Chains A and B, each alone.
Chain A
């Protein structure tokens, strides 16, 4: 492919927030049926500035400041989708989305099914989610399990700048509703990225192995998504010194779930740890661990472990570092994967 002289195709440092904004802009430019709506998305450009400039470029009819009412925002988006538009809704913070759950669960997720495919719901719900930014109560929840437990929704969480762009474009293009979880604490993470030649990202539902194993003495798979992916990559780096060879699977999509990539990695390594911020009890990790155990039981050298947030309401900001799974907690779990040394016959004989 040749590039026009002067075109800004150079890879330059870009933040995830910028990439998300660019994805919205490009989607709106490519398809007039794409409409952005939410509280503060217009003049202010969103409290995280993700929608910055959209109202100016596309007008207030395409990027609309709504009344402050999440059920109303999502409920009117349903009607807009019924009439052929592709609404992209912003739920300013994770816990602010709860008033919209009835619309989400009773209508957005089911309308295609209810109408035998006659009325698809091509709605993207952007949810800035998760902790680590020092937010006060109701600003740091990880609510993915509620979405995952609702058939009819896709649930996506990018961990890199490139994925943020690619997955958001895919979400907006999808004929199904997509819950797009934006890891708040990665909004300002930077990567070399080209807005005019963004790299291709596979369709929703495909995981990726980041930092594949290099054949070390002890191997394990860290399964993660969104804000915990960088934590896992850091843990993998640190564990190398301890003789561990850790493969990090970035799920990217929780629904649909990529059993294939996850299980291929676990079969290679024989051990797995699931890492996420959401509470562990009834959390995503339980589902993932069960799936891995069902499919890879004979390859496992140790139980699938979970490193999750505590089973507590999200803590106040001055205590959140004790709650969020960090590198040390992941490494502790990895250490606990040395199962055969304690329990197997072979180790007893030694």
Chain B
């Protein structure tokens, strides 16, 4: 006789009407980050995709270096580098159809560039001439989002709206490991799951929220595990394995488009550079850690896989680097031109129609500008 079988023992019974909603097992992520490169699965990836990923990774690495250099030259106010995370950026930029939408955060300019955005337009926010440098509808890229995780509910709302209109549009939203602690992350995932919205959330777990390591960010077994609580699958992937990130995202996008609902993907990667040029990463992590991740570099992983399949030789590597160099030179040249700004534009887009108050203030600024121009004219005489 067990304890519970004894007379008068506490007998747990489920509350009335309670039943488990889903079997959690299929929602759980793998125990190890999923990999393609260096495994047998690499042989199945199309040569075109591997080559494309390589070209974009090399160009992306050069883009990060160039943008970082532009901050030292005072051409960018700030640049949050994605060096080391290029595989996530490139896969996110390539995996969507034209009609789909990308929701980037401030560190995700490379994903936007891979999607086709002019790099100068992608850097407008960081240069500081306007808060966004592009029409979001042109490439279906939402404005870079600076507050953490607040772009996630936007992605859910857009995907939901598209589905209501009968369009098979998918939204891919990017967020960092720190962003998963924000309330908007929770609300977005919950809405997405309840509404069965065609959204894919890609968490780029790069190890740090500025200086705070993942262990101080969450006690969850992995960030992908968080998916289970919302009722969506969580996938864990090696974020430096471009082929793996692309494959996992492609499956999630396919699933969303087919009416299968949202997916949370955690890509385990590393931010090789500091948070931004204003940050000193040596204060919170040892060089040995950075070096270990350099040995797991996304470009090296991919080049090894391409060489294994004889899809790349020294000449191919040289060609990719030269192409990236031309891209950087063009970016450098154009970023060294001062943007032409019209201060009167400050009043242009606050409302569809200017309020009386803004008309008065615009007149005031106009008069100040005219007076300045008059003073400058006097000086020239």
> For A174, what are the chain B residues with a Cβ–Cβ distance below 8 Å?
352
Q: How long is the Cα–Cα vector from A72 to B197 in the complex, in angstroms? A: 14
Least Cβ distance of A103 to chain B in Å?
6
Once A80-B160, A80-B161, A99-B183 are accepted as A-B contacts, the answer to whether A256 and B356 lie under 8 Å apart by CB is yes
Evaluate contact between A116 and B130: CB separation under 8 angstroms: yes
Within residues 273 to 322 of chain A, which ones have a CB less than 8 A from any CB in chain B?
A: none
Evaluate contact between B136 and A118: CB separation under 8 angstroms: yes
Once A78-B154, A82-B154, A175-B352 are accepted as A-B contacts, the answer to whether A106 and B160 lie under 8 Å apart by CB is no
Q: How long is the Cα–Cα vector from A35 to B357 in the complex, in angstroms? A: 31
Interface of A toward B, CB cutoff 8 Å: 35, 61, 66-67, 69, 71-72, 74-85, 87, 99, 102-103, 106-107, 110-120, 151-152, 154, 174-176, 205, 255-260
| Residue B291, interface by CB 8 Å | no
| Residue B381, interface by CB 8 Å | no
Residue of B nearest to A70 (CB): B187
Once A107-B154, A112-B349, A119-B143 are accepted as A-B contacts, the answer to whether A79 and B160 lie under 8 Å apart by CB is yes
Evaluate contact between B158 and A256: CB separation under 8 angstroms: no
Residue of B nearest to A258 (CB): B356
Once A112-B351, A113-B350 are accepted as A-B contacts, the answer to whether A82 and B157 lie under 8 Å apart by CB is yes
Evaluate contact between A83 and B147: CB separation under 8 angstroms: no
Q: How long is the Cα–Cα vector from A205 to B357 in the complex, in angstroms? A: 11
| Residue B325, interface by CB 8 Å | no
Least Cβ distance of A282 to chain B in Å?
19
| Residue B165, interface by CB 8 Å | yes
> For A103, what are the chain B residues with a Cβ–Cβ distance below 8 Å?
150, 153, 184
Evaluate contact between B357 and A256: CB separation under 8 angstroms: yes
Evaluate contact between A72 and B188: CB separation under 8 angstroms: yes
> For A67, what are the chain B residues with a Cβ–Cβ distance below 8 Å?
187, 190-191, 194
Residue of B nearest to A65 (CB): B194
20 contacts between A and B (CB under 8 A): A69-B190, A71-B153, A72-B156, A72-B184, A79-B154, A79-B157, A80-B160, A83-B161, A84-B161, A84-B165, A106-B150, A112-B350, A112-B352, A113-B349, A113-B350, A117-B348, A118-B137, A174-B352, A175-B352, A259-B357
B157 touches which of A61, A78, A116 (Cβ 8 Å) = A78
Other 11 A-B pairs with CB < 8 A, given A117-B349, A120-B352: A66-B191, A75-B153, A76-B153, A82-B157, A82-B161, A84-B161, A116-B132, A119-B136, A175-B352, A205-B355, A257-B355
Evaluate contact between B161 and A256: CB separation under 8 angstroms: no
Q: How long is the Cα–Cα vector from A238 to B136 in the complex, in angstroms? A: 57
| Residue B335, interface by CB 8 Å | no
Evaluate contact between A85 and B355: CB separation under 8 angstroms: no
| Residue B175, interface by CB 8 Å | no
Q: How long is the Cα–Cα vector from A79 to B101 in the complex, in angstroms? A: 11
Q: Could you give, for residues 140-166 of chain B, a 1 whenever the CB lies within 8 Å of some chain A CB and a 0 otherwise?
A: 001100010010111111111110110
Q: How long is the Cα–Cα vector from A259 to B355 in the complex, in angstroms? A: 11
Q: How long is the Cα–Cα vector from A255 to B160 in the complex, in angstroms? A: 31
Greatest chain A CB density within 10 A among B143, B157, B158 is at B157
Least Cβ distance of B138 to chain A in Å?
8
Q: How long is the Cα–Cα vector from A221 to B135 in the complex, in angstroms? A: 47
Q: How long is the Cα–Cα vector from A83 to B187 in the complex, in angstroms? A: 20
> For A80, what are the chain B residues with a Cβ–Cβ distance below 8 Å?
157-158, 160-161
> For B150, what are the chain A residues with a Cβ–Cβ distance below 8 Å?
75, 102-103, 106-107
Closest 7 CB pairs of A and B: A79-B157, A75-B153, A72-B187, A76-B157, A256-B355, A79-B158, A83-B161
Once A72-B191, A106-B150 are accepted as A-B contacts, the answer to whether A77 and B157 lie under 8 Å apart by CB is yes
Within residues 36 to 54 of chain B, which ones have a CB less than 8 A from any CB in chain A?
A: none
B132 touches which of A74, A77, A114 (Cβ 8 Å) = A114
Evaluate contact between A75 and B355: CB separation under 8 angstroms: no
Least Cβ distance of A71 to chain B in Å?
5
Evaluate contact between B184 and A102: CB separation under 8 angstroms: yes
> For A87, what are the chain B residues with a Cβ–Cβ distance below 8 Å?
157
Evaluate contact between A176 and B351: CB separation under 8 angstroms: yes
Q: How long is the Cα–Cα vector from A113 to B358 in the complex, in angstroms? A: 14
Evaluate contact between B162 and A83: CB separation under 8 angstroms: yes
Evaluate contact between A116 and B349: CB separation under 8 angstroms: yes
| Residue B285, interface by CB 8 Å | no
Q: How long is the Cα–Cα vector from A54 to B232 in the complex, in angstroms? A: 30
Residue of B nearest to A62 (CB): B164
> For B147, what are the chain A residues with a Cβ–Cβ distance below 8 Å?
102, 106-107
Greatest chain A CB density within 10 A among B130, B184, B187, B194 is at B187
| Residue B131, interface by CB 8 Å | yes
Least Cβ distance of B230 to chain A in Å?
11
Q: How long is the Cα–Cα vector from A116 to B357 in the complex, in angstroms? A: 20
Q: How long is the Cα–Cα vector from A71 to B153 in the complex, in angstroms? A: 8
B143 touches which of A66, A83, A111, A152 (Cβ 8 Å) = A111
Q: How long is the Cα–Cα vector from A107 to B158 in the complex, in angstroms? A: 14
Least Cβ distance of B137 to chain A in Å?
7
Evaluate contact between B184 and A82: CB separation under 8 angstroms: no
Least Cβ distance of B58 to chain A in Å?
31
Residue of A nearest to B145 (CB): A107
Evaluate contact between B184 and A75: CB separation under 8 angstroms: yes
> For A154, what are the chain B residues with a Cβ–Cβ distance below 8 Å?
351
Q: How long is the Cα–Cα vector from A152 to B26 in the complex, in angstroms? A: 45
Residue of A nearest to B131 (CB): A114
> For A115, what are the chain B residues with a Cβ–Cβ distance below 8 Å?
132, 135-136, 143, 349
Greatest chain B CB density within 10 A among A80, A82, A176 is at A82
Once A75-B157, A85-B161 are accepted as A-B contacts, the answer to whether A152 and B351 lie under 8 Å apart by CB is yes
Q: Could you give, for residues 190-202 of chain B, a 1 whenever the CB lies within 8 Å of some chain A CB and a 0 otherwise?
A: 1100100000000
Evaluate contact between A79 and B153: CB separation under 8 angstroms: yes
Evaluate contact between A75 and B132: CB separation under 8 angstroms: no
Q: Could you give, for residues 246-273 of chain B, a 1 whenever the CB lies within 8 Å of some chain A CB and a 0 otherwise?
A: 0000000000000000000000000000
> For B135, what are the chain A residues with a Cβ–Cβ distance below 8 Å?
115-116, 118
Greatest chain A CB density within 10 A among B137, B190, B351 is at B351
